[in-house]
Copies of this chain bind each other. A is one copy, B any other.
Amino acid sequence: MTQPPISRFPVAAREELPADLAERFDVVEEKSGFLPNIFAALAWRPDEALAFFAMHDSVMNKETPGLSKADRELIVVATSAGNDCLYCVVAHGAVARIRAKDPYIADQVAVDWRKAPLSPRMHAVLAVATRLAAEPAAVTPDDLASLTAHGLTQDDVWDVGMITSFFALSNRLAHFAALVPNPEFYSMGRTAPEA
């Protein structure tokens, strides 16, 4: 089969990008070895792209005792899988495998997070996150209290809500644009790290 294009919408040429966006893209590409397609797909709307990446970084690039970077990626994987979002499952699954140093955990969480071999804390986190993603009116004060009971701070609890909410946006945009994952993501982090 012919592979589909990256997006249903225009993909801006790199040299047409505003300076601030172009600079950011260079940094990402340098670090990852390739430019994730979400950057390319958002570039034709520079204002939204800048706000999108600012919001993303604000909640994802943070390591706290209650919610590690790997934990944050697993929230993305679990809620995006609930939305059948290929881009987010594949791209953030790759990051999750690398950050968790576990070649299996992303698939386990994507397909059936309830049986995934995670801590009680992370089961509580994913229970709240997937509820907020799928049936937001059903989230209760008890749900938030279950998170602090597992040691999350008020900031961590907010982050659980904000990450889930941000990827509710991201999943829908990816479906709307039929965003395609870069081939590199599929196999990243699939080798068990040496002991």
List the interface of chain A (C-beta within 8 A of B): 1-4, 8-10, 45, 47-48, 50-52, 54-55, 58-59, 81, 83-86, 89-90, 103-104, 107-108, 110-112, 114-115, 117-119, 132-133, 136-141, 144, 154, 158, 161-162, 164-166, 168-173, 175-178, 183, 186-187, 190-192
> Which residues of the other chain, B, contact A9 by a CB distance below 8 angstroms?
154, 158
Do B119 and A1 touch across chains, with their CB atoms under 8 A apart?
yes
Considering only CB atoms, which chain B residue lies closest to A138 in the complex?
A: B114
Q: Which residues of B contact A89 (CB under 8 A)?
A: 107, 111
CB of B54 within 8 A of CB of A175, answer: no
Prevailing SS type, chain A contact patch: helix
| Given A51-B54, A117-B2, A136-B85, also A169-B165 (CB < 8 A) | yes
Q: Are A50 and B45 interface neighbours, CB within 8 A? A: no
Extra A-B contacts (20), CB below 8 Å, given A85-B112, A115-B178, A136-B175:
A4-B117, A8-B141, A8-B144, A45-B58, A47-B54, A47-B55, A51-B55, A54-B54, A81-B111, A104-B183, A110-B111, A132-B172, A132-B176, A136-B172, A139-B176, A162-B173, A165-B170, A168-B168, A169-B169, A187-B187
Q: Pick the residue among B45, B112, B154, B176 that contacts A84 (CB under 8 A).
A: B112
| A104 to B103 alpha-carbon distance, docked (Å) | 17
Each complex incorporates copies of this chain amounting to 6
Alpha-carbon distance between A110 and B89 when the two chains are bound, in angstroms: 11
Q: What chain B residues lie within 8 Å of A187 (beta carbons)?
A: 103, 187, 190-191
A167's nearest neighbour on chain B, judged by CB, is B169
Query: From residue A191, how far is it (CB to closest CB) to chain B in Å?
Result: 7
Q: How far is the CA of A185 from the CA of B183 in the complex (A)?
A: 19
Residue of B nearest to A10 (CB): B154
Which residues of the other chain, B, contact A186 by a CB distance below 8 angstroms? 103-104, 107, 190
